[in-house]
């Protein structure tokens, strides 16, 4: 297959840009990496960017839009792109964008997200709208950019009242605390084949909470409380496979989420997405969030995941899968189906 | 090498069927996946099954035996197969079966298993036959299908007496509690070459015990006890390598286990097996169980493990290794050596 | 490329010898594995050693030096080699040695190491020279071969005084306790290209501390203290990727360390090295140690890491990267640049 040379793949230099650009090159595209000053090194050393455009900071992204349009670039969004550029500005981008922009608000608004996932038949943790309703252990999560710092557990309403005092003025959500292990499931929905492919799984590596268990309970009790309070800041990802008997349910959930998305935000969710779940000792799959774009949890699989090796028999990262979809769309004259 | 097309590889659609079937196809076999209704999706999407036979539930397996025999299928057992079909029915199966059926009772009976492993020179955790004998911290494990739920620690006899009251009527074993980290070692013994190959290692991911450490000791103490009681339900597997200086001992243990198996259940254990160990801070390898068939811990290595890449220089999963053995046996006219 | 057949690659059979020898063979070298009696099996089964030289114990290594010289072998050092042979004897080795021997003392002396890393601009945990100065939680680490056993936390000076009594006569260092997650970054510096390549990351698996969190806080408090005291004995390694936005800083740190090494121990650090870091919830990278040779943390990547797959598009372990460098040096007539 020959790629139409006139299209290029571009993304912002962060998050999962390495696999996006590497995958694009593997599919035959020229690549462009837009980097904040000082962050170019990975994209140079790993030789994934044919061109690097350096901007002072991310607010300058709009300024280089015309250059991207001129290069005939298609931009691949990721979480950092969405955070840095901002959901509203993305809607107005002129440069061709892989994905359905209309789905973004369904991800970013916790109420809409909940509505969507519930309609898709997923089990979600209970949310308490009023603190007075707390009738079981809960986790309090804060909104916004603080990225997992300050989240806390409360065993009941009284405990909540005491602990929330340290966080005046912050917006938060009160979620039922589900004791189980985290499992992040990666999918790719193709609007060309209408198949929802399971791409792999990961387990996040979060600071400091993933080192907490390495301190003995005696030491934790002895240390000052603020020294051992957990934070949930993601700093890495660990490859993992799920118990095979869970796969039919995981695959069904992915398909259901896509199905409902077609109703709420036509033409629906496509490209990569992720269901963030907790698996309980009762073998339930509880979904606490959806990401409607590539997640960093796919980064361990730059050379393919155990799952993509089965389907593709060649190294197929999620980044490469995106480029493959664009390539096929170009060849089938359906590029409009993958741009949003 | 050309495979005798008349043989097909079949297994039950669960546990490690994906790598078994993918491996069979990589070795040139046609494949059959027997699925419980509603569980076909993974085997369809990953394109590993040339034929899918759907049964209502696993008790119907015997009904489709004749079909498998007619297809000239060889069945590959895994833990779910053995659990669902049952050890006694397996002994009477007519369809050709990869492995030594006579070894199954040595695995399933804790006393026989202990005798076997002890004779092989492995270090095992002490087992207390009478609760009154408890003289150190112990873990109480329940038999049967509950799969790791309810296991508990007791620091002494008195503690045991108090805690066991919540579990009246259950069968259990009282094991010395060894504080160390788990390491699951995967092997493959070839009856054709008489070599015991080391295939890889994994670390299980268990719910909820692997999330327990993410709750601060203060929060654990504050939460209701039943909210933070550990369960050991396996929900995934994480790839890992062992410290290289441990390898000679791991390899020796594998060989010893095979050697003794030849005496207790001729022609002995062959095909894949797993030693489930704990590594202590004193660098001891304590073995607490043996699995005499493929384990799900090999699932991260569908595209090969760090160890199999060295020996084979091509993607060699445990599933594929099974198919390779069958292929070689057919070619050497020794199929009887790998069927039990 | 054709390798000069007259050179062979040799190492001691332990630590990371499998990937060193496998990598050497992949680059076309003949290989020699020097094994302590009884430890030959892995190097035989995985077929990575063209020749195995068995010695009774490691103190006999010098005796077989002449044989290695006659074979025209280049020895590749690793941590076990350095521990077993000893830093002073290594300086006097006659057999060609990959790496800069002069850097070893900068690694092995905690004060020199600290000076080096500080000059390179890395953030280090505070060290308290006098116990009386302790003004925050600290970890007490013992010197020497005990490998992580007995390390303990102290919340303040008083706590330190009480706990140190159990360790009379031992040498130790008092380090600020940083609560964050560990991340081990692997590098390779090429003296031929002057590039510092990022090779991958791992997370260590330590006994018993990595199982501690699986015991509920209640159980930990109930069990005798000595039963649940943490040890930090490395028994394995788990593959991991770092959050992509951390990469520019990790790469810069690697380059800085090399830059300073050229001043303190010309021609400076080259070949593989590792920065052992803790990532905090504030997204700081704290470096607590440097290893100036291949680390066992690269063992999960015998078939390449997510990072080396990008740069090389073929399986490139750190072991193979070493052999590649030697091969290129031979071809460019610059072997002296990689021997120290």
pLDDT in tens, A76-108: 999 999 988 988 899 999 999 999 999 999 998
User: How many angstroms away from the CA of C293 is the closest CA of chain B?
Assistant: 16
C206–B contact, CB cutoff 8 A: yes
Per the prediction, chain A carries an average pLDDT of 94
Mean pLDDT for A57-68 is 92
Per the model's pLDDT, the better-predicted residue between B285 and B149 turns out to be B285
Q: Per DSSP, what are the bridge partners of residue A175?
A: A127, A139
Provide the pLDDT confidence category of residue C1 given band limits of 50, 70 and 90.
very low
Asked if A221 and B220 come within 8 Å (Cβ–Cβ), the reply is no
Residue B13 structure tokens: 């659609």
Q: What's the confidence (pLDDT) of residue B186? A: 98
Q: Which of A292-301, B46-55, C154-163 has the lowest mean pLDDT?
A: C154-163
Q: Per DSSP, what are the bridge partners of residue B294?
A: B78
Mean pLDDT for A200-223 is 96
For residue C235, report the phi and psi dihedrals to the nearest 5 degrees: -125, 0
**79-108 in C: which are within 8 Å (CB) of B?**
80
Asked if B214 and A212 come within 8 Å (Cβ–Cβ), the reply is yes
CB C183 within 8 A of CB C134: no
Neighbours of chain A (3+ CB pairs under 8 A): B, C
Per the prediction, chain B carries an average pLDDT of 94
Mean pLDDT for C323-333 is 97
B198-243: per-residue pLDDT in tens? 999 999 999 999 999 999 999 999 998 888 889 999 999 999 999 9
Residue C314 structure tokens: 């073929």
Provide the pLDDT confidence category of residue C297 given band limits of 50, 70 and 90.
very high
Residue B107 structure tokens: 């695995």
CB B318 within 8 A of CB B188: yes
Residue B166 per-residue DSSP state: G
Residue C233 per-residue DSSP state: E
C228–A contact, CB cutoff 8 A: yes
Provide the pLDDT confidence category of residue B1 given band limits of 50, 70 and 90.
very low
Question: A324 pLDDT exceeds 70?
Answer: yes
pTM: 0.96
Place of tokens 């114990």: C57
Q: What's the confidence (pLDDT) of residue B225? A: 87
A35–C contact, CB cutoff 8 A: no
Residue B215 per-residue DSSP state: S
First CA to last CA across chain C, in angstroms? 25
The C-alpha atoms of residue B75 and residue B62 are separated, in whole angstroms, by: 13
Mean pLDDT for C282-290 is 96
Instruction: Report the share of chain A in percent with pLDDT over 90.
Output: 84
Question: A210 pLDDT exceeds 90?
Answer: yes
Q: What's the confidence (pLDDT) of residue B169? A: 85
C228-284: per-residue pLDDT in tens? 889 999 999 999 999 999 999 999 999 999 999 999 999 999 999 999 999 999 999
Using a CB-CB cut-off of 8 Å, the residues of chain A touching C307 are: 46, 302
Residue B326 structure tokens: 């069958």
Using a CB-CB cut-off of 8 Å, the residues of chain C touching B310 are: 18, 22, 46-48, 302
Mean pLDDT for A290-303 is 97
Q: What's the confidence (pLDDT) of residue A1? A: 47
- Chain A residue closest in CA terms to C306: A302
Provide the pLDDT confidence category of residue A3 given band limits of 50, 70 and 90.
low
The C-alpha atoms of residue A278 and residue A124 are separated, in whole angstroms, by: 10
Asked if B311 and C47 come within 8 Å (Cβ–Cβ), the reply is yes
Neighbours of chain C (3+ CB pairs under 8 A): A, B
The C-alpha atoms of residue B273 and residue B278 are separated, in whole angstroms, by: 17
Question: A5 pLDDT exceeds 80?
Answer: no
User: How many angstroms away from the CA of C333 is the closest CA of chain B?
Assistant: 30
C77-105: per-residue pLDDT in tens? 999 999 889 888 899 999 999 999 999 99
Count the Cβ atoms, other than its own, within 10 Å of residue B2.
8
**Orientation angle between helical segments C17-26 and C318-331, nearest 10 degrees:** 40
B106-141: per-residue pLDDT in tens? 998 889 999 999 999 999 999 999 999 999 999 998
**143-162 in A: which are within 8 Å (CB) of C?**
148-149
B234–A contact, CB cutoff 8 A: yes
C65 to B235, C48, C319: CA distances (angstroms): 51, 21, 22
C44–B contact, CB cutoff 8 A: no
C195-239: per-residue pLDDT in tens? 999 999 999 999 999 999 999 999 999 998 888 889 999 999 999
């Amino acid at each position: 297959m020959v790629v139409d040379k006139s299209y290029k793949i571009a993304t912002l230099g962060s998050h999962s840009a390495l696999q996006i650009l590497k995958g694009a090159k593997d599919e035959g595209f020229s690549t462009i990496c837009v980097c904040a000053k000082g962050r170019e090194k990975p994209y140079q050393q790993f030789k994934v960017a044919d061109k690097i455009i350096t901007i002072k900071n991310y607010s300058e992204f709009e300024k280089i839009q015309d250059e991207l349009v001129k290069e005939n670039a298609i931009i691949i969004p990721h979480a950092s792109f969405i955070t840095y550029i901002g959901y509203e500005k993305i809607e107005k981008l002129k440069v061709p964008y892989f994905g359905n922009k209309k789905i973004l608000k369904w991800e970013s608004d916790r109420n809409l997200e909940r509505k969507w996932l519930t309609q898709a038949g997923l089990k979600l943790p209970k949310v308490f709208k009023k603190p007075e309703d707390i009738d079981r252990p809960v986790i309090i999560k804060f909104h916004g950019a603080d990225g997992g710092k300050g989240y806390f557990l409360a065993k009941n309403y009284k405990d909540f009242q005491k602990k929330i005092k340290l966080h005046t003025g912050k917006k938060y959500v009160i979620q039922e605390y589900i004791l189980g292990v985290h499992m992040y499931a990666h999918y790719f929905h193709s609007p060309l084949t209408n198949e929802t492919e399971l791409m792999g799984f990961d387990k996040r590596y979060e600071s400091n909470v993933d080192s907490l268990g390495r301190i003995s309970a005696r030491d934790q009790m002895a240390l000052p409380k603020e020294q051992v309070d957990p934070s949930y800041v993601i700093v890495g990802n660990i490859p993992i496979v799920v118990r095979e008997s869970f796969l039919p349910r995981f695959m069904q959930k992915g398909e259901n989420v896509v199905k409902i998305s077609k109703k709420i935000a036509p033409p629906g969710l496509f490209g990569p997405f992720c269901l963030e779940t907790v698996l309980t000792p009762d073998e339930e799959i509880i979904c606490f969030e959806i990401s409607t774009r590539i997640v960093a949890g796919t980064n361990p699989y730059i050379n393919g995941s155990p799952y993509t090796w089965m389907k593709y028999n060649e190294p197929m990262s999620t980044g490469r899968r995106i480029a493959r979809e664009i390539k096929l769309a170009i060849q089938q004259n359906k590029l409009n189906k993958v741009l949003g």
